[in-house]
Amino acid sequence: MTTSIEGRIAEELGVRERQVKAAVELLDGGSTVPFIARYRKEATEMLDDAQLRTLEERLRYLRELEDRRAAILESVREQGKLDESLEARIRAADTKARLEDIYLPFKPKRRTKAQIAREAGLAPLADGLLGDPSVDPLVAAAAFVDPDKGVADGAAALDGARAILAERFSEDADLTGELRERMWSRGRLTAKVREGKEEAGAKFADYFDFAEPFTVLPSHRVLAMLRGEKEDVLDLVLEPEEPEAAERPGPSAYENMIARRFGINDRGRPGDKWLADTARWAWRTRILVHLGIDLRSRLRTAAEDEAVRVFASNLRDLLLAAPAGTRATLGLDPGFRTGVKVAVVDATGKVVATDVIHPHVPANRWDESLAKLERLAKAHSVDLIAIGNGTASRETDKLAGELCEKHPELKLTKVMVSEAGASVYSASAFASQELPDMDVSLRGAVSIARRLQDPLAELVKIDPKSIGVGQYQHDLSEVKLSRSLDTVVEDCVNGVGVDVNTASAPLLSRVSGIGSGLAENIVAHRDTHGPFRSRRALKDVARLGPKAYEQCAGFLRIRGGDDPLDSSSVHPEAYPVVRAMVKTTGSEVASLIGNAGVLRTLRADDFVNEKFGLPTVTDILKELEKPGRDPRPAFRTATFKDGVEKIGDLASGMVLEGVVTNVAAFGAFVDIGVHQDGLVHVSAMSRTFVKDPRDVVKPGDVVKVKVMDIDIPRKRISLTLRLDDEAVSAGQAGQQPGEGGERGARAGRPPRPRQGEQGGRGAEGGGRGSGQSTGQGVRGGQGRDRRGGGGAGGARQAPAAVPGNSAMADALRRAGLADPKQGGRKP
């Protein structure tokens, strides 16, 4: 390659090459993205965290590409086939796919028919027929008949020559690249149900007879169809072009491209037809198969990338949800038969009491349960009640509501909290270490209480994949998903900052420069020697060396310590800058911090030196004005409507308050307090076009929605954020604006870009409005028309339930979009 890796990344990012080189040097030196983004702005000339993450990912890819390039060059060189032209082509390859196309003819492989034919001396026959079509193939082949070499007659010789040419055609890198891109832009993915699988595979009903162009297939459909194929329900075919083009008489466009590339023309000469048949044979038996594998991989990769992006975005929103703060909290993990598990944690998150109450069926000890909660609330000065949103949540919410009503002097606030992943935490090794003497069932109540106090601090104890705010996570690349989610957690933790004297080991392990081993050492040092009084004291922790200290110190907070700056995000290395500011103002550090009037009289330029530039000094002034500021939003709760506790209490037209629990590519799930999440389809989010639902709402948002339609038997609720929409009544859905859907039965046609046409289809991708598919069934009212059937905002669509994907399965089950046997919450 003529352009360096740094130069290429710089061009892609639209920045200077020296910025990229500085960032690469810091990354290679062990610095993390959060550290570089915040404390090395001068070095990178203000590259932000998003640019740095992209840079890091591209650097990984391009270095892998270079490693593969070197291996290929060595392999071809060892074969004695590396000339200047080939080396130049290999060095010029800018993607892994292009590199592999060039390498294909030289890649060691099993003996092919073409190789056997060359060994039999048939290469001159193949070259001769391609070079001079005026020669009669049978006549030319007669000269190559040699039974001793396995060439019994002229037909066998021609078969060998055809194999040689077909291999040559299929291994032409430039031709393969052109054919691949044409197939990507013109082809489509089709799905058919396998015979006899209609009933067993009903959840994939949307794809029993489905087709759509590669270029417009959304990620959730690709992953759903691939899963249907994996479960032996669907047969998938990658068609190179739409039926109309495929049915035209004569050679296909792809065969013509091959013919043009190798100068094959039908001029009525003896060899023309044989060469055209060879091109057709090469396309259908070799090239199409190879491209099908490539494009299937491309579809999966693109779908995975989008699903990972959605998952990562939702996880970021969940982790950065508003914390209730340091307030004593009573956690309730609802249940019927097993009772409601109760845990009280103090302002620091320490467990001070636990119990189990049985207010619901079959025990029905309501008054006794109410009395127990009252005693616990009084005894421990409880401010908040956190109620898990699982089974029996609304019944338990009613119990908490009565407690608040009967005892206003307690000034309690009740909040419904997502319990996604709570059961995973309860059974985890860390929970056993953190709460060793506590029953597993009670640990969930502790987690629910703590995640209300500080969602970030509690959720980092759970594998991000178990939080389940994504779609099709079990169909995604484990490495790709884990890498993406880990970076999200790292960015969130470092963006907020961590109190080193109260943080758990899992939370500390996500801080820049600190791994799990160092985190445990910090906790052990804290337990042995007491709280840290200064950041400098961190250097006394075993194995926490200068590099780790440099990376982590600015993200760790020490409240009430020896140095007021230790509670801010000002890095210790920049303390001299603050001392200079203190000297200028003639005040003390403590009096300068938070003193906006004085700070705004200081000019950042006056404190710039050879080590700290204007960006860093400006950041220091901002931090001193609002030290330790939390970037998360203010705490706010949703109020569920009294008397609306189950789906049967809903009525079309109701306006309710709810909490967004999950956001997918097609819309958002909203908990309105009736055990089943409702769905706001992307088409019902705004009067203007919405490309990404996350542009409108995020997990944890408190929103007002209108109920558009309810299907009690299927437990489905259609919602809209457009409160002036007219509610859809049964039987009318198919007549509402948006009929026709995104693509509906126009399978294979690109969608029109009008938001109104996304209003709800009989089934996502042209299926059946029954919604018994992979959870992708779109439903509006009772519409079953495959071309539409959904009212404006009435569409229902969701990813399939995945066994073990707790929160997403929960959301689907609560929204009535998945068989409970396929996944759901704990009993």
- Encoded amino acid at 531, one letter: P
Per-residue pLDDT tens digits for 410-429: 999 999 888 888 888 999 99
- pLDDT at 70 > cutoff 80: yes
What are the residue ranges of CATH 3.30.420.140 in the chain?
329-453
What are the residue ranges of CATH 1.10.3500.10 in the chain?
113-306
pLDDT bracket for residue 245 (50, 70, 90): confident
Give the SS3 label for residue 531.
coil
Per-residue pLDDT tens digits for 686-717: 999 998 898 999 888 899 999 999 988 878 89
Per-residue pLDDT tens digits for 660-670: 888 888 899 99
Cβ-Cβ contacts under 8 Å for 485 (sequence gap 6 or more)? 311, 312, 315, 464, 465
Give the SS3 label for residue 125.
helix
pLDDT bracket for residue 799 (50, 70, 90): very low
- How many Å apart are CA 677 and CA 812, to the nearest integer? 8
- pLDDT at 810 > cutoff 60: no
- How many Å apart are CA 289 and CA 240, to the nearest integer? 11
pLDDT mean across residues, the chain: 86
773's enclosing H/E stretch is: none
Q: Read off the pLDDT of each residue in 316-328 and give the average, rounded to a whole number.
A: 91
- Cα angle 212, 218, 219 (rounded to 5 degrees) comes to 125
- pLDDT at 85 > cutoff 80: yes
For the chain, give the percent of residues with pLDDT over 70. Answer: 87
- pLDDT at 341 > cutoff 70: yes
pLDDT bracket for residue 232 (50, 70, 90): very high
Q: Read off the pLDDT of each residue in 37-41 and give the average, rounded to a whole number.
A: 96
Per-residue pLDDT tens digits for 159-213: 999 999 999 999 999 999 999 999 999 999 999 999 999 999 998 999 999 999 9
Selection from 261, 237, 96 nearest residue 172 by Cα: 261
- Residue 490: C-alpha distances to residues 141, 182, 460, 466, 619 (Å): 68, 41, 10, 17, 21
Looking only at the bridges linking them, the beta strands covering 498-499 and 556-557 are: parallel
pLDDT bracket for residue 763 (50, 70, 90): very low
| Token pair of 821 as six digits | 């046997």
Q: Read off the pLDDT of each residue in 570-590 and give the average, rounded to a whole number.
A: 94
Q: Which residue has the tokens 């890095």?
A: 571
Per-residue pLDDT tens digits for 480-537: 888 998 999 999 999 999 999 999 999 999 999 999 999 999 999 999 999 999 999 9
pLDDT bracket for residue 803 (50, 70, 90): very low
- pLDDT at 290 > cutoff 50: yes
Burial class (CB in 10 A: 0-12, 13-18, 19+), 183: buried
Q: Read off the pLDDT of each residue in 586-592 and give the average, rounded to a whole number.
A: 91
Q: What DSSP string runs through 688-746?
A: S--S-GGGT--TT-EEEEEEEEEETTTTEEEEES-TTSPPPPTTTGGGSTTTT-SSTT-
What are the residue ranges of CATH 2.40.50.140 in the chain?
647-822
- How many Å apart are CA 710 and CA 649, to the nearest integer? 10
- Encoded amino acid at 488, one letter: V
E strand intervals along 755-809 = none
CATH 2.40.50.140 matches 647-822:
yes
Sign of CA dihedral 745, 751, 754, 755: positive
| Token pair of 565 as six digits | 């700056």
| Domain 5-106: assigned CATH number | 1.10.10.650
| Token pair of 371 as six digits | 């009395």
470's enclosing H/E stretch is: none
Into which CATH architecture does domain 329-453 fall? 2-Layer Sandwich (3.30)
- Cα angle 96, 101, 102 (rounded to 5 degrees) comes to 100
pLDDT score of 291: 96
Per-residue pLDDT tens digits for 344-367: 999 989 999 999 999 999 999 999
Q: Read off the pLDDT of each residue in 561-583 and give the average, rounded to a whole number.
A: 95
For the chain, give the percent of residues with pLDDT over 90. Answer: 70
- How many Å apart are CA 417 and CA 397, to the nearest integer? 11
Phi-psi region of 350 (alpha: psi -120 to 50; beta: other; left: phi over 0): beta
- How many Å apart are CA 109 and CA 115, to the nearest integer? 10
The total of other beta-carbon atoms located within 10 Å of residue 71's CB is 12
| Token pair of 144 as six digits | 């190559």
- pLDDT at 792 > cutoff 60: no
Q: Which residues pair with 236 in a beta bridge?
A: 191
pLDDT bracket for residue 720 (50, 70, 90): very high
Q: Read off the pLDDT of each residue in 219-244 and give the average, rounded to a whole number.
A: 92
Into which CATH architecture does domain 113-306 fall? Orthogonal Bundle (1.10)
pLDDT score of 756: 33
DSSP 242: -
pLDDT score of 621: 95
- How many Å apart are CA 406 and CA 483, to the nearest integer? 49
The values of phi and psi at residue 210, to 5°, are -140, 145
- How many Å apart are CA 677 and CA 664, to the nearest integer? 13
Q: Read off the pLDDT of each residue in 731-737 and give the average, rounded to a whole number.
A: 38
Least-confidence region, from 483-492, 671-680, 770-779: 770-779
The residue with greater pLDDT, 464 or 382, is 382
The answer to whether 706 touches 747, Cβ cutoff 8 Å, is no
pLDDT bracket for residue 220 (50, 70, 90): confident
What are the residue ranges of CATH 1.10.10.650 in the chain?
5-106
The answer to whether 341 touches 356, Cβ cutoff 8 Å, is yes
- Encoded amino acid at 470, one letter: G
Per-residue pLDDT tens digits for 600-643: 999 999 999 999 999 999 999 999 998 878 888 888 877 888 78
- Residue 199: C-alpha distances to residues 203, 773, 777, 800 (Å): 9, 11, 16, 17
**How many residues belong to the chain?**
827
